Structure 1
Amino acid sequence: MAPSSASAVPERVRDTASSIAALRALEHARGANGLIRDPFAEALAGTDAMTRVRERRSRAPGDGDDNPSTSTAGRTGARSRARGGRGDDGRVAIRTKFFDDAAVEYLATIDRARGGEAARQVVLLGAGYDTRAWRLEAPSAEARTNTTVFEVDVESVLERKREIMGDAELTLCDRRVAVHCDMERTDWTEALRGSGFREGLPTVWILEGLMYYLSPRVARSMLRRCFDMGGHSSALVVSVVNPAALARARGSDPLRAKLARCFGRGEQKSARAMWMSACDAPPVEYFAPWTLDLAAQLGEAGCDFGRWTGSKPSPVPTDARSFRADVVPRTFYVRASKPASA
């Protein structure tokens, strides 16, 4: 992701992380009507991000966070407000719910396959201000006792989280380990092993909002390393974009954006301008040797939850050539698993 000092972490990326936490906080404030519960999100977001997100929602219904596959700028805000998606069409709430459900369901699968007494791990790569260790429930008390959560990110982010979370009670696991690492520039696998990660144990890997910030080489290598390091019954939950979404995010001059990233020159319009990689083959091929369980776009079955207020997504090309040539920007939320035979 970014260099390991606070001053070197791109400001726009920090702002985006805070904004997403703020959107989770607004979803939490919906109470029983919300898709998720996150009582920690507002403190993690901070006052500036909360103000910024509230203002953006009030003046720009349909302004999205991470999925440019459907344009909502021309729609009125009434439909969006009625369904609770004002400002981002429900993207962050839906994404968070998708990842929450997948993580809990995969942990329950490990329980069924190996029993609650089996040790298991959850690894959040690019953890940012994620709070799943404190707000999701383990499948059983026994499973919680035998679950370790590893959060991997730059030191400045994880240290701020530590200060804010304090001694809040862990609910998903018995032990949480902060792993300080710049995943783009250093060997994150060695950092993980050095922090107590045990290869061969069933592991749920969570890569939310991370992959497009990595170079194509690092992104593809990460998927393979996750597969190799986790044992049978391991699983992967990840968000990716297609080449058209990457091209749109980087604008008409990708070389200029790359130079800005490398040398700190030029003004980045948004965090998206720092995207570097895309899912450049149909998901069933791109994620191999993982077994693809689901690759969903917002608004499709399994990625709606009755809250998507954007346009219905168009069908995805299935052959490799058509997929790469597709001009529709798309974001995919993906669930994949490691079969027992692997």
Structure 2
Amino acid sequence: MGGSGGASRTAVMVCQGRAAAHGRLAPGRFDDPTALALLLPAERGIVEQVRAGDAPAGWGPRLTFEMVRACAEVMAPRTVAIDEAVRQALSSTVPAATAQVVILGAGLDGRAWRMVELAATPVFEVDHPASQRDKRDRAGELVAGAPPCFVPVDFSRDDLAAALAAAGHRRSLPTIWIWEGVVPYLTRGEAARTLRIIGDRSAPGSRLIVHYHTPAPSAPLGRWAARLLSALSRQPNPMAREPNRSVWTPGAMRRAVGARGFAVARDDSLLTLARRLDTPIQHRRSLRNGRILVADRAPTPG
């Protein structure tokens, strides 16, 4: 995602969270060596502090430290759940020889490079043009795996279907859709429009993986507090240009994907997923309100 014509700052924070969690949270289940490589040198220092548990002094540095540490707690269960849903689809639901992956709002996602299961699978990364330019500049250090096909799209204005078709995405083949870290920043109308396109371009055997947020009465207070702390510490608020625009109850999201021909296989909160992985649960509200839904379009019989 991107806002006001610039590259996404939340994508950087999410990448910092993955880098901070790498090898520390859910060892043996979570692993992302691409995260640190996608960060600029100036963005890596706080990651090393979080990994070392060395909280800095001062309001500003401490605020950034806590945001990255909280992000790491969220990213470990979120990434594991999505990765495992992709692997499961490739091994049982989507024929590996015909599979294609579309990552909507890819940000600084490193799956095309780090997941060996995707080595022979076309990966289409869809994101704001400014964010993609930034990522291309950062990705020079990544050598493993095949680079994705970049598809520049502004979800609020551009024709996603036309952009995917022009990039070579084939409606006739099963697709694994990864819709992570995007839905909260879209309006209900934008999310519904994207779902219509996903449904129209999903052949039998396709899988849809959605990360979304549920309503939380305390969310406005949390955003206000983040703005206040950023102002007091004179640190930039990474959410300022990318505000949350929509929340969904589990029932509403199930109905929305069901209307596009997908049957929900599972829908778990990040809190539940974190408990299964035995990862830290210090930021309970963020984990409780984030969810991962996995839904499938039945393959053609025979």
Question: Given the superposition, is the C-alpha separation of residues 90 and 288 from structure 1 closer, same or farther in structure 2, using an over 3 Å criterion?
Answer: same
Task: Tell me, yes or no, if the aligned pair for 2:180 and 2:211 is still in contact at 8 Å.
Answer: yes
- Residue deviations 1:126-169, cap 9 Å, x none? 01111101111228xxxx43x21000112232233233333845
Equivalent positions of 1:79-98 (< 5 A) are: 87-88=70-71, 90-98=73-81
Equivalent positions of 1:236-247 (< 5 A) are: 236-244=208-216
Question: Given the superposition, is the C-alpha separation of residues 304 and 91 from structure 1 closer, same or farther in structure 2, using an over 3 Å criterion?
Answer: farther
Aligned to 1:323: none
**Residue aligned with 1:225, SS:** helix
Residue identity (%)? 27
- Residue deviations 1:92-130, cap 9 Å, x none? 11111111111111121235xx4x43x221000101111
For these two proteins, the number of residue pairs brought into alignment is 277
- Residue deviations 1:262-309, cap 9 Å, x none? xxxxx9955176111121461432322321111111231587412142
- Residue deviations 1:221-261, cap 9 Å, x none? 21232122111110111111123369537858xxxxxxxxx
Aligned to 1:324: none
CA distance in 1, matches of 2:221, 2:88: 32
Displacement of 1:338 in angstroms is: 1.0
The one-letter code of the counterpart of 2:114 is R
Q: Does 1:276 align with 2:250?
A: no
CA distance in 2, matches of 1:214, 1:95: 19
Aligned to 1:128: 107
Q: Does 1:340 align with 2:299?
A: yes
The one-letter code of the counterpart of 1:277 is S
> How high is the TM-score relative to the length of structure 1?
0.69
- Residue deviations 1:157-195, cap 9 Å, x none? 223323333384554xx6731111111111111111111
Task: Tell me, yes or no, if the aligned pair for 2:70 and 2:283 is still in contact at 8 Å.
Answer: no
- Residue deviations 1:305-324, cap 9 Å, x none? 121424778xxxxxxxxxxx
Displacement of 1:220 in angstroms is: 1.4
CA distance in 2, matches of 1:9, 1:62: 24
CA distance in 1, matches of 2:141, 2:2: 28
Q: Does 1:192 align with 2:164?
A: yes
Aligned to 1:8: 5
The one-letter code of the counterpart of 1:91 is V
Question: Given the superposition, is the C-alpha separation of residues 168 and 61 from structure 1 closer, same or farther in structure 2, using an over 3 Å criterion?
Answer: closer
CA distance in 1, matches of 2:26, 2:270: 22
**Residue aligned with 2:15, SS:** helix
Aligned to 2:36: 42
Q: Does 1:181 align with 2:153?
A: yes
Aligned to 2:195: 223
Aligned to 1:158: 132
Displacement of 1:33 in angstroms is: 2.9
Aligned to 1:17: 11
The structure whose residues are more often helix, as a share, is: 2
Q: Does 1:107 align with 2:90?
A: yes
CA distance in 2, matches of 1:208, 1:227: 17
Question: Given the superposition, is the C-alpha separation of residues 61 and 295 from structure 1 closer, same or farther in structure 2, using an over 3 Å criterion?
Answer: farther
- Stretches of structure 1 that go unaligned for 5 or more consecutive residues are 66-85, 253-266, 314-327
CA distance in 1, matches of 2:111, 2:86: 9
> How high is the TM-score relative to the length of structure 2?
0.77
CA distance in 2, matches of 1:63, 1:184: 31
Task: Tell me, yes or no, if the aligned pair for 1:199 and 1:231 is still in contact at 8 Å.
Answer: yes
The one-letter code of the counterpart of 2:272 is E
